[in-house]
Chain A
Amino acid sequence: MITPEQRAEFRTHFRYNVGRRLVLDKIVKGTVFLCVVVAIVPLVAILVNVFTNGSAALSWDFLTKIPGAVGSDDPGGIGPAIQGTIVLIGLSSLIGVPVGVMGGIFLSEYGNNRYGRTVRFFNDVLAEFPTIVIGVFVFVLVVLTIGNFSVWAGSFALSIVMLPIIMRTTEESLKLVPVTYREAGYALGIRRYRVVFTIVLNSAKNGLVTGILLSVARIAGETAPLVFTILGSSQFINGLDGPIDALPLRIWRLSSLPYDSAVTQGWGAAFVLIILVLSINIGVRYLFLRKKEKTFSKFKRLGAIS
């Protein structure tokens, strides 16, 4: 047993380092706060630059006309790019959303077995694929076989990017629905598929839509898969088996041109793209996830936010 006298003796060995420890504590706190500032500055800088430089380019003509000849007086607009992005998003969603949702339903309702684990693992693999590799794949599979760049190829590529995200966010949303809801349905004699469609999907509606919207925002900004598949174009769409332009691709092309007008147009296109992507992200947060921070951070980790 250590007596009070012995305790006092031991305490003499405590160094009077408290001052130093408190200073170190303050330094660490300051450094850590600085880290946060360093992270915020680029975001603010990008947004400020895009908004100020991009708004100079904005006009109805800019948003609707086709690009003019390179270096000419009339720089034209980015109409085809905007059309292209919208069409590509629409078409890839046609494949990506149903397959993704059904896949998510599989994982959540039928996936508690080895096959489910395998699918889940490879789904994660697909979600983390470098998107340029997906572009190359679609090039070899579709473009080379058919013989030309096309909207189909681009949509297919984007659907592959979109699919694993929707599949996982759907699974997570469905898993949040309590098992008792399903059991109540089965107890009433309702078949599994009706339980899923009318009860489970309904309760998970918000999460599902959130996941889909976030994946749309993600593919709207994807350039790499498009490099190999749509070629880009200065014209509006001429059939789904022909080339098409898209906002991210146009930005990339414009950035390499030495003309001031091209630079301005690049900022303008970036402006439009950022508005589209950020409004989906912010909108989703405020509409659906006001109180569900946990779900949102899970979705983030699943790649819904690039």
Chain B
Amino acid sequence: MMETVTKTPTKESSAEDIKYKLIAENISASYDGIVAVKNVSMKFRDRAVTALIGPSGCGKTTFLRCLNRMHELTKNATLTGRVLLDGEDLYSNKVDPIINRRKIGMVFQKPNPFPTMSIYDNVACGLKLNGVRDKKILDEVVEGCLKMASLWDEVKGDLKKPGMSLSGGQQQRLCIARALAIQPEVLLMDEPASALDPIATQKIEEMIQELKKEYTIIIVTHNMQQATRVSDYTGFMYLGDLVEFGETKQIFENPRNETTAKYVQGQFG
């Protein structure tokens, strides 16, 4: 028997909820007939990193994709629940998804820069898509985002080089810069370092520590050590349920749930 340690969410925002940047309420999601996420609710604090851990197939990536309305792009996808960003429901019918998607940036497991575009164009394309034409603003944002992604020093010499000419780790940082360029409040990262070597991984983890000073970051990872290094809060998911959620230190050193304890001790995975 598993205990869920999530608080039952209240419908109206209470004073307590204000320090939560992003709130997911009763998210249930499925695709292709498989139920991947079962009534999961989570609250994510601003200026903090929250990690989602759990064995393969537990639904953590599906849940992540529900937060920025990417899940509905999967075939035969269904979803119920709400996602509130600064109190505003991202799933409301009044606003087109394309507007809500740009409020939350996302980085994927394998780096996927646009192969025919230069480094500059890769970062700037989100801005151009949203109607920004002013070259000064574009230059400013591109430089700012590449600096935040710890890539500026390595590429500032030639921003016109093709995005694909970079190494794997650099490409991932380019994708992070691209996601940051559309000025999101929250950054979602789906196992961002799993395809990278240890040194590139380290660079990304250091960058995340810097970024959290001004952003809300949610990172899905199958690497428990990474979660302890990088995150302030951790949610453990198993078979579509949120089993336990709390401060990272507590989850790993003092888990209240038996399944959590087994997982963090490496007894299954």
Contact = CB atoms under 8 A, between A and B. Distances in A.
A10 interface: yes
Interface of B: 96, 98-99, 127, 130-132, 134, 137, 141, 144-145, 148, 180, 183-185, 210-211, 213-214
Range for the number of chain A residues in contact with chain B: 10 to 19
B214 A18 contact: no
Quick one: which of B127, B131, B134 has the most chain A CB within 10 A? Answer: B131
10 contacts: A1-B210, A1-B213, A2-B145, A2-B183, A4-B185, A13-B137, A14-B131, A18-B96, A18-B99, A22-B98
A164 to B, nearest CB: 34
Given A1-B214, A2-B183, 5 more contacts: A4-B185, A10-B141, A14-B131, A18-B98, A22-B96
Contacts of B213: 1
Contacts of A10: 137, 141, 183
B183 A11 contact: yes
B185 A7 contact: yes
A2 to B, nearest CB: 5
A2 B144 contact: yes
Contacts of A21: 98
B183 A1 contact: no
B200 to A, nearest CB: 21
Contacts of B180: 2
A191 interface: no
Interface in A111-137: none
A15 B185 CA distance: 18
Contacts of A4: 185, 214
Contacts of A18: 96, 98-99
Interface in A154-208: none
A238 interface: no
A18 B98 CA distance: 8
A34 B2 CA distance: 55
A2 B214 contact: yes
A3 B141 CA distance: 12
A17 interface: yes
Contacts of B184: 7
A123 to B, nearest CB: 32
B148 A14 contact: no
B132 A3 contact: no
A7 B132 contact: no
Contacts of B211: 1
Contacts of B214: 1-4
Contacts of B99: 18
Nearest to B210: A1
Interface of A: 1-4, 7-8, 10-11, 13-18, 21-22
A13 B148 contact: no
Contacts of B98: 18, 21-22
Nearest to B129: A21
A10 B183 CA distance: 7
Query: Which 9 pairs from chain A and chain B are nearest by CB?
Result: A15-B131, A7-B183, A14-B130, A17-B131, A10-B183, A13-B132, A11-B183, A1-B214, A2-B144
Contacts of A15: 130-132
A8 B86 CA distance: 13
A14 B144 CA distance: 17
A17 B141 CA distance: 20
A1 B148 contact: yes
Contacts of B148: 1-2
Contacts of A2: 144-145, 148, 180, 183, 214
B239 to A, nearest CB: 32
Nearest to A2: B144
B25 to A, nearest CB: 23
B85 to A, nearest CB: 13
A36 B234 CA distance: 50
A289 to B, nearest CB: 23
A98 B132 CA distance: 64
Contacts of A17: 130-131
B134 A13 contact: yes
A21 B208 CA distance: 33
Contacts of A8: 183
B123 to A, nearest CB: 13
Given A1-B214, A21-B98, A14 B185 contact: no
A10 B141 CA distance: 8
A15 B137 CA distance: 13
A86 B208 CA distance: 73
A22 B98 CA distance: 9
A10 B181 CA distance: 10
